[in-house]
């Protein structure tokens, strides 16, 4: 695999500052706007994305369009999604003349996602969790390269029994393959966030369990609101029927349950357990 060379007259940091100044833009905190301005990090991320001439790529939170343009130079089509109408105006100017860029001004959480080969996004912190769940539910892509605040990314990767393990860990383990790619220092962004970030490769999986996903989402929301309590106590609190499980299972603390144990519990509570889950 080779590096993608950035064919821009200016570095990303300089170009970003120029565009913000030209259009009189101040990044909005309420939208968690922070632009990736480190050329080397972008090269690495595009390398991980492994762009092909036949690819259709969705760029979520396309922003000023500088990275959108780099991607579009290498692929068949880019679908650039941006919620901020001010940034959409810049995005249109940045990608002007590129016939393979389709710009959608929309809240990604309200959009019916199109089928694409790959997804690229510096994910705004305020939608990180719902976006990951939406991507895994709609399964509209083959692979995604996503950057998150470091703490959030580590929650995606967390194992049972650890302090970071929770609802997100369970859902991504059951319905996705998650791989840490690298840590990205806060200085690689403008304006710099308060914390470092982490790059994640995400691929959909768990097709055989997809019919239980909504039940897993609902159950994990209840369980992890009481993560240190015993499972049976949480079931009693939410008036959920006690399934036929060994007492040692019900006496486990919520944060000790494996994703497959939670899947089995969700299936039992919904009377929808299959033989391959029962045997797991």
The total domain count for the chain is 2
Q: Do both 145 and 39 map to the same domain?
A: yes
CATH of residue 171: 3.40.50.150
In this structure, is residue 1 part of a structural domain?
Answer: no
- 70 and 148 belong to one structural domain: yes
For residue range 32-53, what is the model confidence (pLDDT) as tens digits?
A: 889 999 999 999 999 999 999 9
Question: How many residues are listed for the chain in this entry?
Answer: 280
CA dihedral 116, 148, 67, 87 (to 10 degrees): 100
In terms of domains, do 201 and 214 share one?
Answer: no
Q: What angle do CA 103, 107, 109 make, to 5 degrees?
A: 120
CATH of residue 249's domain is 1.10.8
Which pLDDT score, from 0 to 100, does residue 272 have? Answer: 52
Per-residue pLDDT of the chain (280 residues; tens, 9 = 90+): 444 444 443 489 999 999 999 999 998 888 788 999 999 999 999 999 999 999 999 999 999 999 999 999 999 999 999 999 999 999 999 999 999 999 999 999 999 999 999 999 999 888 999 999 999 999 999 999 999 999 999 999 999 999 999 999 999 999 999 999 999 999 999 999 999 999 999 999 999 999 999 999 999 999 999 999 999 999 999 988 877 778 888 999 999 999 999 999 999 988 754 434 443 4
| In-domain check, residue 112 | yes
Residue 270 lies in a domain: yes
Structure pTM?
0.90
Backbone CA torsion sign across 173, 178, 184, 190: negative
Does 237 lie in the same domain as 159?
no
Residue 14 has what pLDDT?
94
Choose the final residue of a domain: 205, 229, 249. 205
Which of 155, 170, 205 marks a domain boundary? 205
C-alpha–C-alpha distance, residues 83 and 71, integer Å? 19
Pairing of strands 56-60, 77-82: parallel
Same domain (yes/no): 199, 260: no
DSSP one-letter string for 15-68:
HHHHHHHHTT----GGGT--EE--HHHHHHHHHHHT--TT-EEEEET-TTSHHH
Could you tell me if 160 and 226 lie in one domain?
A: no
Q: What is the pLDDT of residue 20?
A: 95
| Same domain, residue pair 125 and 23 | yes
pLDDT tens digits for range 201-257: 999 999 999 999 999 999 999 999 999 999 999 999 998 887 777 888 899 999 999
In a 3-state reduction of DSSP, which class is residue 121? strand
Same-domain pairing of 123 and 242: no
């Amino acid at each position: 695999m080779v590096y993608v060379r950035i064919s821009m007259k200016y570095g990303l940091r300089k170009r970003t500052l120029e565009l913000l100044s030209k259009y009189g833009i101040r990044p909005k905190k309420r939208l968690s706007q922070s632009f990736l301005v480190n050329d080397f990090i972008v090269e690495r991320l595009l390398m991980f994305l492994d762009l092909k001439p036949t690819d259709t790529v969705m760029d979520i939170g396309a922003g000023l369009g500088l990275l959108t343009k780099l991607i579009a130079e290498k692929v068949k089509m880019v679908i650039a999604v941006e919620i901020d109408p001010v940034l959409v105006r810049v995005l249109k100017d940045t990608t002007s003349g590129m016939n393979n860029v389709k710009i959608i001004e929309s809240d990604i959480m309200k959009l019916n996602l199109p089928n694409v080969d790959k997804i690229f996004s510096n994910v705004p912190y305020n939608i990180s969790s719902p976006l990951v769940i939406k991507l895994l539910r709609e399964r509209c892509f083959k692979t995604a390269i996503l950057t998150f605040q470091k703490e959030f990314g580590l929650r995606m990767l967390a194992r049972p029994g650890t302090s970071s393990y929770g609802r997100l860990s369970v859902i991504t383990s059951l319905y996705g393959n998650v791989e840490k790619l690298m840590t990205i220092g806060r200085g690689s962004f403008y304006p710099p966030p308060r914390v470092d970030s982490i790059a994640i490769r995400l691929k959909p999986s768990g097709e055989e369990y997809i019919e239980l996903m909504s039940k897993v989402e609902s159950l994990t929301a209840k369980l992890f609101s009481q993560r240190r309590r015993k499972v049976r106590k949480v079931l009693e609190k939410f008036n959920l029927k006690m399934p036929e499980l060994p007492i040692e299972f019900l006496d486990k603390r919520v944060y000790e349950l494996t994703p497959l144990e939670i899947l089995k519990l969700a299936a039992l509570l919904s009377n929808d357990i299959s033989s391959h889950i029962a045997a797991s």
